[in-house]
Amino acid sequence: MNESTISQKMIVSIKTALSYKAIPIVLIAIITGGLFTTDKDPYFLMHEIVQVSLRHGFLVLALLMPIRAGMGLNFGIVIGAIAGQLGIIMAINQGYMGLQSFLIAIAFATPLALLFGFMEGQVLNRARGYEMIASLFLSYFANGIYQFVLLFLLDSAIPFKSEELLLPGGTGLRNTIDLSANLGGAIDDLFGGMLQVPIFIVLFIMGIAVLLRNAYRSTYGLNRNSEITDRRHLKKQSILALFLCLISVLVMYIDVLPGNWSQIATVRFPLSTGALLLVFVAFDTLMTQTKFGKAFQSICPEPENEGLVAGRTNKQRLAAIMVSIVLAAWGQIIYLQSSGILITYGSHMGVGTLAAVALLMGGASIRRATAMQALIGVLLLHSFVLLAPALLESVAGSGNIFEVFRMLVLNGVILYAFIQAGKGRGGNME
């Protein structure tokens, strides 16, 4: 093989890699520019990114299972969010408070989510090949029913005890419900906030855990027949984990950050919410290793598996949607207990699109996605929302254009993902 052939292959591989990672690269460039131009307090930035990303991560993880089942992005997780909100309303109506309110909301929402997921799955099985557009319009349809029930049937055809939540006319629910007195902070502030610790301690422990796991896998989990890519993947993970540990130690104990940037060492992380997110990730990881989860890989419509597309089963697809809707319901309850306010007719709107954008920003595609890409995407999305206005203001002289720019970016991300899939290159972008 001559040098020109080698160089051509290298150029092609670089172009392919950049194509796969174009979205994260552009976002990181925008976020970096925003860091140098923003006048916001570093502590505020770090705190907001951590808190919002943590509460939003649950909803993004709800998208993974349908993608593995070959159904693409399930914009119908809005239906799961509706189930979660109905669970919250029922819990508040019964007068429950704190952690009890959270658990009752979960108990109410879960059977509703299972029912809604079953109904959505049945529809999507009949819309084979058009699942994403069908799930999008299903979410609009479900929103119409939801608003009709809460505006016209509540306390007229459906009994409702909590009069303070009703509109002055006595029928229909108020537009805004303050959750601070009942559900607000039920998980984030568990045990009076005693489970909140500095974020860099959490990052250090996570880094050590990854290093120990990779050391074990390198010693006992890999053999001579293991693929070279597996070893390289472990090596990359270990380097990243080591870097994370080093940065955490420097920030916590050596105070290497300049000026008021040192304040970010005091940003706190709610361990209870983080533990729940870890449970979601662990559940997703375990599902991919079970017989049930591995069956999804054979029905995913990759180009090389086109002959197997006809073999995908309605049962697997239905189960994927039901799991997705239940996780979305739980995720919406966790999100709202953290935000502390329920916009009755609006909190669920856009949940599907925003979660899909976050997942794609992490380097996923409409055919393959991982939990790590979901978490990275959430961080990138909310970092972009916080920092991009400062960059735009420095370039354009005004930050008022940001809302237009935000809509262009969010919709452009989804459009780019569809273009990549249409080219047959919608694989893993790692």
* Distance between CA atoms of residues 216 and 237, nearest Å: 13
Q: Are 335 and 58 in contact (CB under 8 A)?
A: yes
What phi and psi, each to the nearest 5 degrees, are found at residue 342?
Answer: -115, 115
CA torsion 377-247-387-25 (nearest 10°) is -50
Radius of gyration of the chain (CA): 23
Lowest mean pLDDT among 32-46, 156-170, 192-206, 307-321: 307-321
Lowest mean pLDDT among 78-82, 128-132, 218-222: 218-222
Q: Mean pLDDT over residues 40-58, rounded?
A: 89
Answer yes or no: is pLDDT of 18 > 90.
no
161 against 374, higher pLDDT? 374
Confidence band of 252 (pLDDT split at 50, 70, 90) = confident
Q: Is 401 buried (19+), middle (13-18) or exposed (0-12) by CB count in 10 A?
A: middle
Confidence band of 23 (pLDDT split at 50, 70, 90) = confident
Answer yes or no: is pLDDT of 307 > 50.
no
pTM summary value: 0.87
CA torsion 285-282-349-353 (nearest 10°) is -30
DSSP state of 192: G
* Distance between CA atoms of residues 144 and 403, nearest Å: 26
Among 139, 30, 158, 150, smallest CA distance to 78 is for 139
399 against 291, higher pLDDT? 291
Counting residues of the chain whose pLDDT is more than 70, the rounded percentage is 84
Strands 176-178 and 341-343: antiparallel
Q: Are 124 and 325 in contact (CB under 8 A)?
A: no
Place of tokens 């909301």: 105
For residue 60, give the 3-state DSSP assignment.
helix
What phi and psi, each to the nearest 5 degrees, are found at residue 124?
Answer: -70, -30
Sign of the Cα pseudo-torsion (93, 95, 101, 104, in order)? negative
Place of tokens 């010693």: 219
- Give pLDDT, residue 147: 93
